[in-house]
Amino acid sequence: MSKMLDLLLENKIVAILRGIEDSDADAAGQALIDGGIRMMEITMNTPGAAVMIKRWRSRFDGQAAVGAGTVLDVEMAKTAVDAGAQFLISPNLDEEVVRYGHENGVSVWPGVMTPTEIVKAWKAGAEAVKLFPMGTLGTKYLTEIRGPLDSIPIMATGGVDLHNIADYFAAGANAVGMGGKLLNLEWVREGRFDLITDRARQFVEAVRSL
């Protein structure tokens, strides 16, 4: 088990930052950390993602792990790792990306939906998988696949909020990925980083109580 997987299973939440402006990124990241978030990803389809990842690795060293999201292929994976990404997350399963991460000591948690994809990712060397889109699949789906697939760590992504987060873990999730429900970009644009910290703290406390 890698250090990043340990961190994922311990903290249970990965904050997803998509489409954030570079000028707001540091303050938003600090607000999440102040609220107790210890794992953050910047999606690679965010303009300037690699630059932000590199800066965050230095700025938040020892406070939070920094990864890259929406890593669709090996080229994106290389760009992210060169910038200092400590883990790679994708919405899809690309076995070349899994192999690249394994060869370079970087955790890769690929996106999957079906039992076949989950097992395929596991056999390719993925330590954990991202079950997506959970907002559409629903927690009953997770409960059903957990029966035969009880040994593979699953990060459920999509549709998580304060009212249902306990249901995700009750259904068998080991962790959750969270975007807009955790990091409201409107609050970022308004400079209401205090609200982001408060929201992060609510989610962190919610998973600690499980």
Q: What is the dihedral of CA 152, 156, 157, 159, to 10 degrees?
A: 160
The token duo for 132 is 């997506």
Pairwise CA distance, residues 203 & 113, whole Å: 25
Set 10, 12, 21, 41: catalytic member = 41
Half-sphere exposure of 199 (CA within 13 A, CB side): 22
Cα angle: 71, vertex 77, 81; to 5 degrees: 125
Catalytic-residue membership of 75: no
How far, in Å, are 48, 80, 81, 97, 167 from residue 76 at the CA level? 13, 6, 9, 9, 33
Set 78, 130, 186, 190: catalytic member = 130
Catalytic-residue membership of 96: no
The token duo for 174 is 């080991």
Grouping H, G, I as helix, E, B as strand and the rest as coil, residue 123 is helix
Supply the residues annotated as catalytic.
41, 130
